[in-house]
Structure 1
């Protein structure tokens, strides 16, 4: 038997009636009224500037920021581990004596294990994120991850050995993977075109907020000589999940996800909650989304991981993976281990914690500066200039570390470390998330952002070991000379981006689909004209 969906005109089998299923909207491509609404909706988004979009969609901005704020938990823990290895009490409890050095040092293998375990757990989480999100939606997937986060913090807090702490970090990493896969996708889908750059860039701001909290907490407790020097900062992780869980429960689901699953009425309500109070505007936005979903649906049915490497989606997946992986190769690992880097550059322990707090606050300022930058300049331009600047600064860091060591050269290395972190936090860091969110197709977004983040961890896990080996006195003890290594890898990132990174600023998701399907070369994306009435 068959029944007809009166709203969409699609035929559904008896088994599908009463269930949420992927529903196509072919009428939006043939019905002239609906098609006209879709065209008007897209033109209206193109005509909005950032300020006008922010005034008309303040709630969308708030919900995007709240979802991105889940990243603060991964950031908090990553920076926390970087500070633990520099805490005197933690070093005394778990460290070893090194010949020729005062105090204790955490062995390189355990430093690497602490940094890598969470990322290994997150690697699992990002692969779970796509299938779970496709089935449950962004909201319920994130709520489930927040509940899991609350539970796994107990293991780290009560850990009495480096082995148990490492296991706790690994288990905490699983929800991190769900957060980082879903946040850029959700943020890019709930805001208008003009706000996609600024709102997805708040992911990097969440990293900075986590860094500031950690820097403040560890600076406040670094002179304690007991276990609470690190247990109290660990307990601060419980501050985030429960309030965020309540807020995400109240958040609207992405209208793009709802449309793709045939829940048109819910999508319309979500669009209205996000800021489209005018009935006419909300209907136009809905028709615009339906049009894009239908164009993509004609290329395939229910998305699978295998779709990521088929046809033109392989190119999009490759760009996303390279963008994510490149975050590890242009100075970011120096920022993640800033306190320890400052100590190895010859700065005292207390001064190193002070510098780390200053560094984290400056990263927050840089993140705020990235918002107008994303409105004024293209994604490709910001990424190329940011990477080139950091490559130059990293080589300069290596030169400073190569000349005879003095008080001045120590502070020069520390200042360069701060500047490198600032440039990363204001340019290639936040703009990478924008590029990642905009490059994927709507149909495969939940999967592609997850797989892209997996590429980040594949690159980061060995790089963390390498970074620890380069900085640690029990390793290669290179200190600032690691700038030569990261400067070289930053140059490789710049070359790859110059040839393969397309410019997607001011492009709707429909236009992006068409440009990729037409196999337009990356350097011609900006100049290629796509007619508003084109469907392929």
Structure 2
């Protein structure tokens, strides 16, 4: 009996894996091609507000997937006496939490060393280790995410990662040494990598063209939500003088994985992923669940997806990591990696080490935690403002002007820290830190995710976002050490003068974007494929006309 059940289950799985459409017939089917034309034209004609009204469920599920980043943000060493960016909401919660730990008096006294003139502090090497361990784990996770997602899909990959997240939180919560806390963070980092790799890809694939910018920008809002929760929790417990000052905030991580796991289980799979697997009927059901006005529109959207998948399939077989570095995909991979890595160089490190930065600027510890909470709330406001920005302005415009603004502010911060110091200059540095964070959260941060999700091909998307995030970690890990050295009393103790360093790196980011960043707003995935295949220069992407009937 048991053997019969196993055989039946294997047969059912085999049926699911069998494609119910042959993609090599798609481009030869005139009726299907006409449907594809209609589907793509309809997406181009749809405005932001119309798309939101017609696809509320697509927006909802995109937001839920992006929300997985919150829990990662809260345990990072960055908001405390270390530096660097942290992953999304699940990732956001965890990463920001570690950052606040090192600024907690009870944590410093338990695990730190006494520095004459500065009091108790966590040594720089341990500050770096606390954050780098999570990033190293995430580095492993993002490389696993691509192949696993290609096999299991976005839903089941995320569900497995959420289950793993629940388990690994136990290690951090019960840790009784910095060593064990570092190990716990490393293991938590693995599911973080899955979340950050899958969230932008899934969000971009399930929403209409007009909503891609706003919905992928939600990722940055997830960071902010996580940082608000962490800032509130650590502010509420920062006056405690026992271990619960950091164990209670750690326990808050368990608030997220189980509810999110249930919601993701109920979510539809990406129809693009289902089409790539040849599961046409399931893809149609997903399209209908995501919200369409009629069965005809659902068929048009399905045909549009089938057409694009077939065009890409003719360029190569089953996707592999090596495909990311071949032909025109190498250019797309390079852009994705540069956009991810640049998040570490244009003011984000100031934002993510806010509490410790305020203390080093001469603000009292209690007021530093208060300012950090204000800073986190303002980031949330900036994220909300990014939605209309992405709707009305081009991706390149937002990125270049946002970077220019932060370059000016970062150099002003350095100048302010270089003159004779007083209470006025201390608060001026704190305000500049908040404004830099606000600008990043409203421009560079959210628009980077939009660019990343639009640049990769459909065939390689899961792999591309994973490798791009890996590039982020490769750039970030040494920057964590550098940022710790810049601020820490046991390091270079530069305080606001670090603005000179980050201002200089932001200039490099601006130059790279000006020459190499293409404009993909209002471009379908088919049009993006054609533009890259034609090797169109970045600054001519917007003006190049692509006919709806072209299949190159």
Task: Output the TM-score relative to the length of structure 1.
Answer: 0.96
Cα distance, 1:25 vs. partner?
1.8
CA distance in 1, matches of 2:215, 2:110: 42
**Structure 1 counterpart of 2:151:** 135
Which 5+ residue runs of structure 1 have no aligned equivalent? Answer: 1-13
Cα distance, 1:19 vs. partner?
5.3
**Structure 1 counterpart of 2:67:** 69
Is 1:232 the counterpart of 2:248? The answer is: yes
Is 1:262 the counterpart of 2:259? The answer is: no
Is the contact made by 1:26 and 1:294 (CA closer than 8 Å) also made in structure 2? yes
CA distance in 2, matches of 1:81, 1:249: 29
Is the contact made by 1:82 and 1:338 (CA closer than 8 Å) also made in structure 2? no
**Structure 1 counterpart of 2:111:** 94
Cα distance change on mapping 1:61 and 1:19 into 2, 3 Å: closer
Comparing 195-204 with 27-36, greater Cα deviation is found at 27-36
**Structure 2 counterpart of 1:531:** 547
CA distance in 1, matches of 2:213, 2:16: 35
Find 1:413's aligned residue among 409, 424, 429: 429
Cα distance, 1:118 vs. partner?
0.3
Find 2:17's aligned residue among 11, 20, 23: 20
Is 1:484 the counterpart of 2:504? The answer is: no
CA distance in 2, matches of 1:55, 1:261: 30
Comparing 92-101 with 22-31, greater Cα deviation is found at 22-31
**Structure 1 counterpart of 2:346:** 330
Cα distance change on mapping 1:417 and 1:307 into 2, 3 Å: same
Could you say what the CA RMSD is over the residues aligned between the two structures, in angstroms? 1.1
CA distance in 2, matches of 1:369, 1:28: 41
CA distance in 2, matches of 1:189, 1:279: 19
| Residue pairs, 1:380-395, within 5 angstroms | 380-395=396-411
Cα distance change on mapping 1:413 and 1:17 into 2, 3 Å: closer
CA distance in 1, matches of 2:22, 2:219: 32
Is 1:346 the counterpart of 2:362? The answer is: yes
**Structure 2 counterpart of 1:8:** none
Is the contact made by 2:59 and 2:215 (CA closer than 8 Å) also made in structure 1? yes
Q: Give secondary structure in 2 for the equivalent of 1:97.
A: strand
CA distance in 2, matches of 1:381, 1:334: 23
Deviations 1:77-125 (A, max 9, x none): 1111111111011111111111222x30110000000111100000000
Is 1:78 the counterpart of 2:78? The answer is: no
CA distance in 1, matches of 2:205, 2:18: 20
Cα distance change on mapping 1:268 and 1:179 into 2, 3 Å: same
Is the contact made by 1:27 and 1:34 (CA closer than 8 Å) also made in structure 2? no
CA distance in 2, matches of 1:258, 1:277: 21
CA distance in 2, matches of 1:399, 1:18: 66
Find 1:54's aligned residue among 48, 52, 59: 52
Cα distance change on mapping 1:157 and 1:31 into 2, 3 Å: same
Which 5+ residue runs of structure 2 have no aligned equivalent? Answer: 1-10, 71-89
Cα distance, 1:32 vs. partner?
1.3
Cα distance, 1:24 vs. partner?
4.5
CA distance in 2, matches of 1:226, 1:457: 33
CA distance in 2, matches of 1:224, 1:42: 58
Deviations 1:238-260 (A, max 9, x none): 00000000000000000000000
Task: Output the TM-score relative to the length of structure 2.
Answer: 0.93
Q: Give secondary structure in 2 for the equivalent of 1:71.
A: coil
Is the contact made by 2:16 and 2:279 (CA closer than 8 Å) also made in structure 1? no
Is the contact made by 1:89 and 1:227 (CA closer than 8 Å) also made in structure 2? yes
CA distance in 2, matches of 1:225, 1:125: 35
Q: Give secondary structure in 2 for the equivalent of 1:30.
A: coil
